[in-house]
Structure 1
Amino acid sequence: MTDVLSDEDVPLSKRRVPVTTKTSETSSKKRKSVSVKNEPSDLIPDDMLPLKKRGTATATVGTNGQGSAKKVKREEKPAKSTKVSAAKAKGTSNRNSNGTPKPKTVSDSGIDEKLIAKRKAKKADSKTEGEETSTQEKEEEELYKWWEAESNDGSVKWSSLVHSGVLFPPPYEPLPMHVKLKYKGVPVDLPPEAEEVAGFFGAMLETDHAKNKVFQANFFNDFKEVLTKSCGSKLKVEKFEHCDFTDIFNYYEEKRLEKKALTAAEKKKIKEEKDKLEETYKVCYLDGRKELVGNFRIEPPGLFRGRGSHPKTGKLKARVMPEQVTINIGPDTPVPQPPDGHEWAEVKHDNTVSWLATWKENINGAQKYVFLAANSSLKGMSDYKKFEKARELKGHITGIRKDYNKELKDELMANRQRATAMYLIDVLALRAGGEKGEDEADTVGCCSLRYEHVSFKPPNTIVLDFLGKDSIRFYQEVKVDPQVYKNLKLFKKSPKKVGDQLFDRLDPPTLNKHLQNYMPGLTAKVFRTYNASITMQEQLGKIENKGTVNEKYVAYNAANRTVAILCNHQRTVSKAHEQSVGKIEDKILEIKFQRYRLKQMIAQLEPNMKKSDPEYFQPDIELDDATMVRLTDQIIQRERDKVTKKFQRENEKRATEKEEALPESELNARMKVVDELEAEYKKERKTGKVELKNGMPVEKLKAQIEKLNERIVNTTLQLKDKEDNSTVALTTSKINYIDPRLTVMFSKKYEVPIEKLFSKTLREKFKWAIESADENWKF
């Protein structure tokens, strides 16, 4: 008699599912945005309006990708909006041909902060009668402490939103006539579209990427496709092996060296021009508050690199056009102008999302978004809610573990697989995983583990070996619950073979739907955040509150490293690592060398001390004669470089201020000090005696030695920290998985400056955590 299988025992791929018909989306060119009444239009900063429409101008609001719009009359009092047929405004454009803004006049530049900022009240006792405030003084904005404000229901993200859109990369600049791709030794005249793609590869010619066979194949396939589109079958470029990119590489290498050789003044000028170009894109106005925008630049075209062994490495990242970009902005607000001759794909007024613009990239078909900066209120709220959701899991975790441990022996195979997956996600912090297409990197998570990814070592040790996110290898040998061990063996039972899914009755949506029964919003990802934060709290609790700040800092990093290993945040040892370690080792040797010299001075001043404690005056074992010669040469060369660079900087500054340059004799005079130091070192090597400094007492020499001892300890700790973390990425866990309030708690409780633990960017991103957690805070 055949057993009747329940639907849960049937693999997901073979289940009968109701057929649903998807309604195709309306063409973006026909779709109209919904008009929603919003903030009065006079809240719009004047410089956010088109140049010719400022003051009492009429602001256009796009309603579709063809540039149709509605006009809003901007008067002294808010006026009702009226719809009119739109036509593209004619007149002088405030854009260059590539879509970048033309330089603004002084009166047009800058943002009128008076519309959104309140002047901070000054204390009465600091004011005197007749005191005048300078008209040049910038008004300060009040810090919006959103974490202290009442939260909304989460559906509406903003009431008014004003921004300048996205910044497109500059157009392609053709190569000089003499720089060409050679095919079978013959220079080839390429159309600009193909020449640009050839340039992408040529510029990378000496990199490891360009030597990768997969990279080469993907690049050449896309290159030939561009050639075919741009000039048909006129050019016969058929084999990669016959292509010579040397001239292109040399040209771009020359440009790179020229850029590197620019003076500080020239670099400053370029930066100022770049900042001026980006000025209006960097900020937006959210509900009248000035907020920074995050990634407002459209990524330039190039060759995709990918991480790990990505199958698409080398493919062409196509140039993004305005017709691919959807803008999201407040109604009754001027829509940013697309580059001349172009239109936006669509203009939306969706206040339930936090993105400002979106488009789809061509490599993986992923949707790209422009969001507010990491330190914005919306991003901060998102982070806060994420960590609060993980904290909420604390109240449910005991019940969840009790249930999945019980279901490890469930009669239904689907329930047993689900329980086993939950165990692995909870205990080993595995990602849930998902299906991958044939053209995507072969990365997996828990639900997508295959037959070959798990092996066994009796009595209850499993070996997990697979490529995780970003093609980082996950390899662990770990003891598991005996029943989990039995289940995994059962899931691999014949007729399953290599390539078959281990959890063939489970996928991430099914798992997450089950988790919703325990707690609203609970997903497998929340377990990683919870386990990372709870592990960090446990590790920090083991640190003794003693020692120097540097010792505590290293202990903090060790705790962070435990979390990073749990989450499999690995990295390959960088090429610069060995060189970086060598510099730190040399730094320690130099400090020991200086300490030895001070001890030699004491020996001359107090001969009896050397007799009573000869070992104290011996050089460290690493400081043999050859090492000391190398160190002194190193010190002298570094001092010469310092003097030379400072002299060059001063002359560059004088040139910008149109002052006469310092003569070469001035440089020679400064070098005399270094020459004297070099002569001093040479004399010491000959005589074996260190020259005594005038009036230097023994007590002062001993105090200097103590300072050097501290530096040796601190630098040695720095070296150990660098070595320990060479293959572990600490930043990912610190930014995304560990509740930042734990770091703030550690800083305040252990008296470690927050600047040592969080960079300036992270201090801005996690300002809400810094101001809301104290030394007693617990996750």
Structure 2
Amino acid sequence: MASDSDDDMPLARTNGRLSKAHISKAEDKAMKEPSASSAPAPGISIRNGPVIEDKMEVDEPVTNGAAKRKSRGSTSKAVNYNMESSESDDGKPLAKRQKTVKKALDSDSDSDDMPLASKKPGKLPPKATAADIGESSDDDIPLTHKLAEKKVAIEKKAEKEAKAIRAKENKAKKVAKKEDSDDEDVKPKTKRKSNGVAPSKKSNGVKIESDSDEPLSKKPAAKKANCKVKAEAASPVKKGKGKKEESEDAEEVYRWWDAPKKEDDSVKWDTLQHNGVVFPPEYEILPKDVKLLYDGIPLTLSVEAEEVAGFFGAMLNSTHNVENPTFQKNFFADFTEEVKKTGGAKDKDGNKVAIKEFSKLDFKPIFNYYDGKNQEKKARSSAEKKADKAAKDEAEAPYTHCIWDGRKEQVGNFRVEPPGLFRGRGEHPKTGKVKRRVTPEQITINIGKEATVPAPPEGHKWKAVQHDNKATWLAMWQENINGAYKYVMLAAKSSIKGQSDYKKFEKARELKKHIDRIREDYTRDLKAELTADRQRATAVYLIDKLALRAGNEKDTENEAETVGCCSLKFEHVTLRPPNTVIFDFLGKDSIRYYDEVEVEPQVFKNLKLFKKSPKTTGDDIFDRLTTTQLNKHLNNYMPGLSAKVFRTYNASWTMSDLLKKLKKNHGEGKDLSMQEKVKLYNDANREVAILCNHKRTIGAGHEAQMEKMADRIKGLKYQKWRIKHMILDIDPKQKKKKGAEWFELANNELDEEWVRAHQAFLVQEQRIKIEKKFQKDNEKLVADGQKEMKAKELSERLEAAVELEKKFKKENKSKKVEAEGKGPSVEKYEANLEKLDERIAIMMTQAEDREGNKEVALGTSKINYIDPRLTVVFSKQFSVSIEKFFSKTLREKFTWAIESIEDEDDWEF
């Protein structure tokens, strides 16, 4: 541990082994810098599979945290805690079944002590392919080199523009200063604080003041004096809509982006009125014949203990949780404590029963009861479901909106969470613990002074009522699991949330003026003498180039052990010469982050220094740096700059650059189909996600979805084959005209076995449609006060499916297809074939799109990191409805983005 007296830098960590405060020239030179002459520009994932230990020249085999935690995989994969399941287990209570733990990693036989990085290569996420970003793979240049070179070019362009922006602003300031000094009669322009923005600029109708959240571009003045707009008026291309949707669209929303900016941004509201929160229903006691069993004995429990037992019993089908030993342990501790606290458990004779072993508990009677109720609920008719929903909506209607500064705003989570068992994300140490029922006595209400305070449930009172107009929450309470505070906030479509999003993207736009200086500084400090400076520079490099999150300190006893850049430990980083770094750790939401990237030689060298002996498993890599210190340093470049802004900036700037190239290469896309335009955007979005390292775990249902799409495409090709044979049926001469091959079945795709299976599917599909239509017609008759149709009517309708089945059998035998439809002709059938070809082309494009997106967080990039105004600009320039990119919910969330640039076709990030 370093103890240099001349070190005036504060230590970021006080636990584990610390790096020396200074790096001497001798030590720096001794840490040989790797050669990377053949390596591509750094910063792109290469993911060539697991690290093979016998190739390692820097690190000894590591355990990736096995000394502190078990190796884990993504939470998106189901965890099977019962490796051996047989028919003999079916009759046993769940708790009696074998509890052999199968790890959440994708390997079936991995040892606990094996490094995550050395697991089976087939189970790691695959590396990006050329098809993933819509590029040809038959190029001599490796894909990773091409991507890295493209990323470097984008970064250089960004740095060049940063200098141009500052030069332009400095020139504008000099001109403004000269004009003020030359003409004293001219009213001086509003002065700005030195944030580098021209004083006369406006954006989105809001005059720029002094903070870094302010916009950089011009925006026409507000068009409506009342600052209101129809919620859906922004879509560039509108489709026909029903009356119900039109009425929803007519709801006016507050055009805050056109409203004058408040002098005091800290004041969020002047008046606030709301009706509080909705509490979950009270617990309903189980029937007397439904009991929890302990070693076969039915137990009589207090109402409180019975409710806790019901939490576990109701979720027996969630094996991922109930077969988890940690989940069982925590539940059993809380359950037995509740039983003891409320008088104990008794048998039918009133004798106390000591509950000592979880394995003797049998929750099946409780599960069967709740499962039966769920099945009854699902079996309700559509009319009953609609009536229940209408009743629920009516009861909750007063809570869905509040009156914020005199306007109606939608409330987000107005329901108080019901009691239950805590799940947590990843391998949370508290999973299975009981989430207690929240009472009014725990809830603080935030409301305007002049407003009527909502009445608590009868017999209760609120914990407190306050009037904090600098807070945006309406109600707040503290939950019992982690002591975290829960807040009732406005919905995502509200003006408050919109302003928050707007500020986030404007802050990212502000960063583009400073990015060159930041990169120059951290590149220089990568060789700094002070270890703290070198660690900080290395961390900023990783955050900027690899999109790592900054990371915060964790209470590992009470929280899942997730990390970010500043909290990386020795075992999370493996080094492979000449300059490849393998990251393997649990990131946000306990999703496993595994990646291999090539970095600058100096960064590789620094990480080697930060991992230098005597550091070992459990020690921090950045031991002289915290997230707080890092953000404080970044704040020197521009107010409000923090590590997380880099992700937004890099994604938005990259997307902006790619969209400019699309416009240059394709103009307005007049020669492209709608699907091709959408794919063009998605390809750009995907490339942003890859370049910015936004990844996701491949969904468990991806392969099934792709197979389903492939079957649908085959089904369309089968339709083509049938139509071609219908042409032969009405004009046999076409066989000679078009050639025999044109009428043949494509054996390489549509063999006879597949055709017969598809025919059976079509028959069954028709049966299901007929049955659903029959049921719907009956419900309509009942609703109108008429008698239901009898089963005979259904049988008659199902004859159509029987006839279809006979038709397919006849076709299979004769190899001929009879002409169908009214007035069949060759021309009509050929027109149908053209339509089918179009549908096949569209579906193949969609399949290619989905396959390319399987490992890329396309939605995350588009919604959270790419400025939504860029999507709107693409929509306008290529004449594509914004509905193709944003769902109704997102259109409401991003109304500010859609409306604020409605007259700016050339808006730029």
1:583 aligns with 2:702: no
Q: Larger deviation: 474-483 or 543-552?
A: 543-552
Corresponding residue number in structure 2 for 1:595? 720
Q: CA deviation at 1:353?
A: 1.3
Letter in 1 for 2:521: D
Q: CA deviation digits over 1:89-131, x for unaligned, max 9?
A: xxxxxxxxxxxxxxxxxxxxxxxxxxx99999xxxxxxxxxxx
Q: Give 1:777's aligned residue.
A: 907
In the other structure, the counterpart of 1:746 is 874
* Residue deviations 1:325-363 (CA, integer Å, cap 9, x gap): 111101111001111111111111111111111112222
* Structure 1 letter corresponding to 2:547: A
Query: 255, 262, 276: which one pairs with 2:373?
Result: 255
2:5 partner SS: coil
Aligned to 2:741: 615
679, 684, 687: which is aligned to 1:559?
684
Worse-matched range after superposition: 569-578 or 473-482: 569-578
Match of 2:783 in 1: 656
Counting only pairs closer than 5 Å after superposition, residues 140-219 of structure 1 correspond to structure 2 as 142-152=252-262, 153-207=264-318, 208-219=320-331
Residue of structure 2 aligned with 1:452, choices 571, 588, 597 = 571
Question: Which residue of structure 2 aligns with residue 5 of structure 1?
Answer: 6
More displaced stretch, 723-732 vs 162-171: 723-732
Give the deviation of 1:756 after TM superposition: 1.8
Deviates more, 1:689-698 or 1:429-438: 689-698
Shift of 1:614: 2.1
Aligned residue type for 1:144: Y
Q: For 1:463 and 1:593, locate their aligned partners in 2 and report how far apart those are by CA, in whole Å.
A: 48
Matched ranges for 1:88-167 at <5 A: 142-152=252-262, 153-167=264-278
Q: Is the 8 A contact 1:12 1:504 kept in 2?
A: yes
Letter paired with 2:460: H
Say which SS state the counterpart of residue 9 (structure 2) adopts: helix
| 1:35-434 paired onto structure 2 within 5 Å | 142-152=252-262, 153-207=264-318, 208-231=320-343, 235-434=353-552
C-alpha distance in 2, partners of 1:185/1:195? 17
Q: Summarize the alignment of residues 694-773 of structure 1 with structure 2, pairs less than 5 Å apart.
A: 695-773=823-901
Q: Deviations over 1:553-585 (max 9, x none)?
A: 234333333444566655444444444333322
Query: Does the Cα contact within 8 Å between 2:276 and 2:399 map onto a contact in 1?
Result: yes
Q: Which runs of 5+ in 2 are unaligned?
A: 17-225, 231-246, 346-351
User: Deviation digits for residues 153-206 of structure 1, max 9, x if unmatched?
Assistant: 311111111100111101111111111110011111111111111111111112
Aligned residue in 1 for 2:120: none
Q: Distance in 2 between matches of 1:631 and 1:14?
A: 64
Shift of 1:728: 3.8
Helix, strand or coil at the partner of 2:342 = helix
Residues 567-616 of structure 1, C-alpha deviations (whole Å, 9 max, x = no match):
66554444444443333222112111111011112233443432342222
Q: Is the 8 A contact 2:635 2:642 kept in 1?
A: yes
Are 1:474 and 1:568, in contact at CA under 8 Å, matched by a contact in 2? no
Distance 1:490 1:572 in 2: 32
Equivalent-residue separation in structure 1 for 2:259 and 2:866 (angstroms): 24
Task: Give SS of 2:617's match.
Answer: coil
- Shift in Å at residue 751 of structure 1? 2.6
Secondary structure, counterpart of 2:459 in structure 1:
coil
* 2:802 alignment partner in structure 1: 675
- Structure 1 residues 574 and 223: CA distance shift in structure 2, 3 A: farther
State whether residues 679 and 845 of structure 2, in contact with CA within 8 Å, keep that contact through their aligned partners in structure 1: yes
Q: Does the CA-based 8 Å contact 1:324-1:360 persist in structure 2?
A: yes
Q: In the superposition, relative to structure 1, how do residues 748 and 300 fare at CA in structure 2: closer, same or farther (>3 Å)? A: same
Q: Secondary structure at the match of 1:7?
A: coil
2:192 matched residue in structure 1: none
| Corresponding residue of 1:27 | none
3-state SS of the aligned residue for 1:143?
Answer: strand
1:190 maps to a residue whose letter is L
**Sequence identity, in percent?**
57
Partners of 1:333 and 1:425 lie apart in 2 by 46
In the alignment, which residue of structure 1 is the partner of 2:56?
A: none
Distance 1:138 1:361, change over 3 A: closer
- Determine if contact 1:117/1:141 at 8 Å carries over to the other structure: no
Whether contact under 8 Å (1:12, 1:505) holds in the other structure is yes
- Contact persistence 1:429–1:566 (CA under 8 A): no
Deviations 1:227-276 (A, max 9, x none): 22222585521111111111111111111111111100110111011101
Between the two proteins, the alignment pairs up a number of residues equal to 663
Counterpart in the other structure of 1:486? 605
1:731 shift after superposition: 2.6
Deviation at 1:639, TM superposition (A): 0.9
CA contact (8 A) 1:119 1:139 kept: no
Tell me which moved more, 665-674 or 193-202.
665-674
Distance 2:473 2:3 in 1: 55
Q: CA deviation at 1:541?
A: 4.4
Cα distance change of structure 1 residues 701 and 269 upon mapping to structure 2, 3 Å threshold: same
Deviates more, 1:454-463 or 1:422-431: 454-463
Task: Indicate the larger mover: 455-464 or 520-529.
Answer: 455-464
1:525 maps to 644
What is the RMSD computed on CA atoms of the aligned residues?
2.5
Counterpart Cα distance in 2 of 1:194 and 1:720: 53
Return the alpha-carbon distance in structure 2 between the equivalents of residues 563 and 175 of structure 1: 54
Of 566-575 and 160-169, deviating more is: 566-575
Q: Deviations over 1:129-164 (max 9, x none)?
A: xxxxxxxx9997643211111222311111111100
TM-score (norm 1): 0.81
For 2:595, what is the secondary structure of its paired residue? strand
2:228–2:253 CA contact under 8 A, matched in 1: no
Answer yes or no: is 1:443 the counterpart of 2:562. yes
Q: Give distance in 2, aligned partners of 1:664 and 1:9.
A: 82
CA distance in 2, matches of 1:518, 1:163: 41
**1:574/1:222 Cα in 2 relative to 1: closer, same or farther (>3 Å)?**
farther
Given that residues 430 and 567 in structure 1 are in contact (C-alpha distance below 8 angstroms), is that contact kept between their aligned partners in structure 2?
A: no
Whether the aligned pair in 1 keeps the contact of 2:569 and 2:619 (CA below 8 Å) is: yes
* Deviation by residue 1:349-403 (Cα, 9 ceiling, x = unmatched): 1111111111122222222111111111111111101110111100011111111
1:509 aligns with 2:635: no
- Range that drifts further, 156-165 or 677-686: 677-686
- 1:463 maps to which residue? 582
